[in-house]
Amino acid sequence: QGLKPVVSTESPALIFGTTSKLSSDLPATDSFLGKNKVPDLQKLFQKADGLPVHLKRGVPDKLLYRTTMALTIGGTIYCLVALYMASQPRNQ
């Protein structure tokens, strides 16, 4: 008499189906990845020109920095005005 195996020897059915592309199907070239920009950016950010690192890329960085500062200062003033108005008693 033989015993039945406890564990099934068949592979389970796929739950999500098959993948759309296998890694072996991809081309060997890495042309879709583009050029590595890290060495160029390292040269830019390590240059000793006296600028802080968050302003080294020129006009876009200056625009983002000034916009952030303006929104921060404006939000602080708005909060202080709202707090002052909330602390005043209402006239009845």
Q: How far is CA 23 from CA 1, 3, 26, in A?
A: 46, 41, 6
Chain segment 77-86, per-residue pLDDT in tens: 999 999 999 9
Pick the CATH number of 50-91 from 1.10.1370.20, 4.10.91.10, 3.40.50.80, 3.40.50.720: 4.10.91.10
| Percentage of the residues of the chain whose pLDDT score is greater than 90 | 36
pLDDT band at 70 (very low <50, low <70, confident <90, very high): very high
Chain segment 5-34, per-residue pLDDT in tens: 676 667 666 666 655 655 555 555 555 678
Residue 54 near residue 69, CB atoms below 8 Å: no
